[in-house]
Each structure stands twice: as C-alpha cells, then as structure tokens.
Amino acid sequence: MAGYFKDIWLGVSTVLIGMHITFKHWFKFKKAVTIQYPHEILEMNERTRAHLFNVADECAVCLQCARACPVDIIDMQGIRADKDEDLGLLPTGKPKRMHLIKFDIDFSKCVYCGLCVEVCDTKSLHWRAPVEPCTFTREEMYKSFATIPPDEVERLIAFDAERKVKKAEEMAAKKAAAAAAKAAKAAKAKAEAEAKPAEAGADAPKAAKSDVGEEKKETPAASDTPEKPGTPDSPDAPENTPKPEPDKS
C-alpha cells in the first residue's frame, strides 16, 4: 500500500519537476537559440565546407585539384600563355603563365570533402559563405569558373595548335640538324681515330661526357624561365604545355 502511494507521489512530483523545467524554457528564462536564417546569417568558420568557388584569375592551372578530387568532377583545361604575354601575378608571387579556358565542377556530384582546396597552392579555389545556391535543374549545378569569353578561347586554342605545329616543325628541324651534326661528329671522330689510333681510347669518352654535361646545364636553365607553370612541384604539366625548349639557353 505504501508502495502504491509512493508511486503516485513519484509520478506527481516528477511531472511537476518536468513542468517546472519546461516552464522555465517557455518563458524565456533561457533565450531562444534560433538563428533566423535568411534575415541573419550565422557566422561560419573559415574552413566551413559550404560553397566552393574558384577565382579564375588566380588559378595557376596546376591541375592539383583535379587530381585530388575523389569523384573526379573537376574538368579543367589551360593554355600556356605566349612568351611576352603578361597575365599578372599569382597570389604565390609567381607570374601567371596559363590561360584558364575551362574549369567546370559538377556540384551535383561534389562531396564537399575539401581535398581540392587543401592542395590548392594559390588558394584560388576556396570556401565561401554562406552556402551553395539551390537550383531547379540538375544542369544548373554544373558550374563553370573560367572567365575567358568563348571567342577568346577559340583564338587561344587556334594559337596553341599553331604553336604546336610550329614547335613540331622546329623539333623536326632540330632533330635533323642534330642528326646531321652527330653524323658529322661521328665522321670526324672516325677520321681522327683513323688518323691517331693511339689516342682514341682517351678521347671518345671525353666527347660523350661533355655532351651529357651540356644537356644537364640546359634543363635547369629551362625551368628558370617563366615558361614553366607557376607551381614548381607539379611533375605533370597539362598535356598542351610545351616542353622546355632546349634552344632557349
């Protein structure tokens, strides 16, 4: 019997305790925590992954982000600028040497992992506040960040193709010249060897060594030129980036 009344007392008192607690909240002894979103915007942390944005002018087109993306949705393409073209400086302090002609992200697939932002050296790819805008169609989520107008892009592509053809011709010419020089050298060496058979053992390796040394000298020289893309730690340049031209040094 005592247990019965104790139970009732427990029920009544706990209900009253609960009502006391809710009453305190009801009458604002604790303030409402609601952020009225469209009218007031919650301050977000710097690294809040909400809205991805790329500033085309600051992008070095190093392809790091495209390679980091786990879902492979960054579709980008760059064209190397002409030698005497000035594209301004990158945030890293290096001059920008690539035209960004295409930088598309399909936000319907993006998982907002932030890996692309982590690897971006120039911080051109960054998070913005507050959030990615919603869309009525799936196509609208496919966003393009390149700012170059289409006719300019066409011109650049044509220019690049032309340059490639030219370069190929140059390369071919150089190859032919090199081959001719080699042949001449070989002929000369043969003649010398024939002339001085006693000295042959010491001379031939020396010639080879000097060749290698020359090539080694050429490569660092080429990477110092502004022709190389902004970030030095990119081993693979975009496919249409011209190889350092040996005749520059």
Partner 1 sequence: MTWLDLLIAVACVAGVLGFISVVALVAIWTERKISAHIHDRLGPMETGGFHGWAQTIADMVKLLQKEDIIPDAADKPLFKLAPYIVLSATIASFVVLPFGAHLIGTDLNIGIYYLVAISSLEVAGILMAGWASNNKWALFGGMRSASQMISFEIPIGLSLLIPIMIVGSLSMQDLVGAQAGGFWNWGVFSHLPFAMIAFIVYFWASLAEVNRTPFDLPEGESELVAGFHVEYSGMRFAMFFLAEFANMFLVAGVAVALFLGGWHAPFSFLEISAESNVILHNLVGFFWFASKGMVLLFIQQWLRWTLPRLRVDQLMHVCWKIFLPFSFVNVLIVSLWIVLTQS
Partner 2 sequence: MGLIEGRFEPNIIVTSTDAIFNWARSRSIWPLTFGLACCAIEMMATNASRFDLDRFGIFPRPTPRQSDCLLISGTVTAKMGERLVTLYEQMSEPRYVISMGSCANSGGPYCDHGYHVIKGVDQILPVDVYIPGCPPRPEALIDGFLKLRDLIMKETIAKPSA
Site mask for partner 1 (CB under 8 A), range 26-65, x = bound = xxx-xxxxx-x-----------------------------
3-state secondary structure of 159: helix
111 touches 120 (CB < 8 A)? no
Beta carbon of residue 129, minimum distance to partner 1 (angstroms, whole number): 22
The vertex-157 CA angle with 151 and 161, nearest 5°, equals 145
Backbone torsions φ then ψ of 154, nearest 5 degrees: -60, -45
The whole-angstrom separation of Cα 176 and Cα 212 is: 19
Q: Is 74 a residue that touches ligand SF4 (CB under 6 A)?
A: yes
19 touches partner 1 (CB under 8 A): yes
| 81 touches ligand SF4 by CB under 6 A | no
Footprint of ligand SF4 on 209-238 (CB under 6 A): none
Q: Residue 9: phi, psi to the nearest 5? A: -60, -45
Binding partner of 130, given partner 2, partner 1, ligand SF4, none, CB within 5-8 angstroms per partner class: partner 2
Q: How far is CA 4 from CA 8, 16, 23, 30, 113, in A?
A: 6, 19, 28, 37, 58
Nearer to partner 1, 41 or 111 (CB): 41
114 forms part of the interface with ligand SF4 (CB under 6 A): yes
- The residue ranges that bind ligand SF4 (CB under 6 A) are 52, 54, 59-65, 68-71, 73-74, 105, 110-116, 119-122, 124-125
